[in-house]
Amino acid sequence: MSRIPGQESIVALDLDALRSALADSGEPFEPLGISGLIVGSGALGRLGDVIGTMLDGTRTGAREVAVLAAATPMTVRGSALREAVERQIPPGCGQEWIVLGPPDGALHADERTVATAKQASAEARCVVTVGSGTVTDIGKAAAGSGTHLIAVQTATSVNGYADPFSVLLTAGVKRTTPTRWPDWLIIDTDVLAGAPDRLNLAGVGDMAAMFSATADWCLAASMRAGGPPYSAWAAGLVRTHGEAMFDLGRGLTTDTGRLTDLARLLTLSGIGMGIAGSTAPASGMEHAVSHLLEMAATASDGTSSSASAPNLHGEQVGVASVVAAAAWDHVLARIAAGGLGLAARPPDPDATADRIGAAFANLDASGAMAAECLADYTAKIRLLASGPDPLVTLRSTWSDLEPVFGGLLNGPAELARGLRSAGLPARFGDLPVPVDQAQARWAVASCALQRRRFGVADLAMLMGAWEDDDVYAVLAAAGAAAATAGVTP
C-alpha cells in the first residue's frame, strides 16, 4: 500500500486536495464535512489546540467540553487515557467526563443510551468522543447542531469514524442512520497500540467488505433498486488498495506503521461512504449477515446473551465476506446458465409479513424487531414491483456489467486466504464465540429481510436461487474455501 506523500508522525491528511479532487471528478458527491484530521504518534497532543480553536478562545464559565466514553479502561504509552485527554483540555474550560453504558464497558448504541448522551452533553459547546466505533456513533447522534464534535479514535476496529452516519439500535434492529460528520478526527497511533489486538485486527475484517459490498452497490444502482448512484471513483478510494490490505494484518499489533496505514485506509473508507451519501460503498450482504448475528447475540434489554466476550463486528464481517463472495459465485453461475432469461420471482407481499415474523420470532417475542425489519423490506419489494419486471434493466446491460463485477469481486478462497494470513477467522465456527451451522444458515438466509438496501441475496431471490438448497450450497462453498485456505498463523 502506498503511503501518502508527506505523511509523517503528526501531519493532517490533505483534505483540501481531496476536496479539489472531488470537485474535479464531476460527480454529484456530498460535501466532505470533516474540517481536520490528525494521524500519527503523539497526535493526542494536538487535542488541546483543536479544542481551543473551536471555542475561538472564548470562555463562558459554563461547561464548554463534554467527553463521552465507555467504562472500558484505556491507556496511552502506559498511562490512563482519561488523564491524558483531560490534561489536553485548555485551562479554564468547564469539562465533564461522561461514562456511557454499564461498568463492564459493554456499550450499545440503543435509543436509551443515545438519549442519555444527548441529555448529558446538551449544554456543552464541544463534544469529544473517546473510544471505538460505538462511542463514536453515539457521539455523532448526540452532538446537536452548532455543537463542535471531535472524535478521538482508540482502535482500528471499523471504518465508521470518518463518516456522517451512526449504526444505532432501533427496536433491537441495527440501523444505519444519517447523523453528522465529526469536525475533527484525531488518531494517535500510541493510543491504537494500547488497544486489544483483536480490536485492531477487526478493522482488517471490516475492510474485507470492499470485495463484495462495492459489487452489491453497483448491482443496486444498475437495477435502479434504490440507493445512491454507483461511483467507480468513490469505490476506488479503498478498492485500489485491496490487494495490499490483508498484508497489514501481519505484524499489525506490533508495528505502528501498519496501524497508521490501516487507520488511513479506514478513514478513506469512511470518507467514501460520506461523499456517496450512503454506507453502500462499504456495506453489502456481509454487513447484513453480521448485523443479524449481533442482533441475535444481544437480548432485547441490551445485555449480551453470551457469557463470553462477544464477537467483534469486523471479525464477523470478514467471515461473512467469504460467504458473500460465495453467494456472488452462486448467482454468477446461475446467470451463466441462463438465469436472467427467466421471469423474475419477486417476493409475495402477502407472505412477507409472515416470513419476517417467523425469521425474528425467536429474537423478540413482542414482534417489534420483525415490524422494524418489515417496514424497510416492504419498501424494497414495493420498489421492485413498481415496474413490469425488475430484471429487465439487468438483462439489457449485463454484457457491460459482467466485466465490472469481475473487477470488483474476489473469490471466496482468495478472501479466506487473506483473512487467515492477517490472523483473522475465515469461517463462522472459527470465530472467538463460534456461530453454529443453524445460526449461520438463519443469518445468511434472512440477511435480505433485515434492510431496504438491495444486494446479491435479493438478486438470488428474484432469480429463484435463494431457496434452502441454495443457501446450503453457498455456505458449503464458503466453508470449503476457508478449509483450503490453511490454518490461522
Half-sphere exposure (Cβ direction) of 95: Cα atoms closer than 13 Å: 20
318, 454: one domain: yes
| Percent over 70 (pLDDT), the chain | 93
Domain-located, residue 268: no
59, 76: one domain: yes
Q: Are 86 and 72 in contact (CB under 8 A)?
A: no
Instruction: Give the pLDDT of residue 211.
Output: 96
404, 327: one domain: yes
Domain housing 406: 200-228+278-483
304, 439: one domain: yes
pTM, two decimal places: 0.93
206, 117: one domain: no
In angstroms, the first-to-last Cα distance of the chain is 22
Task: Report pLDDT digits (tens) over 211-223.
Answer: 999 999 999 999 9
Task: Report pLDDT digits (tens) over 415-471.
Answer: 999 999 999 999 999 999 999 999 999 999 999 999 999 999 999 999 999 999 999
Number of folded domains that form the chain: 2
376, 406: one domain: yes
Q: Residue 171's domain is classified under what CATH number?
A: 3.40.50.1970
From 154, 173, 195, the end of a domain falls on 195
146, 221: one domain: no
More confident of the two residues 488 and 457: 457
283, 172: one domain: no
Asked whether residue 4 carries a pLDDT value surpassing 50, the answer given is no
Domain-located, residue 249: no
Distance CA 412, CA 419 (A): 10
Helix axes 256-276, 232-239, angle to 10 degrees: 170
Q: Residue 288's domain is classified under what CATH number?
A: 1.20.1090
| Cell 470485495 found at | 211
327, 374: one domain: yes
Domain-located, residue 156: yes
Domain-located, residue 356: yes
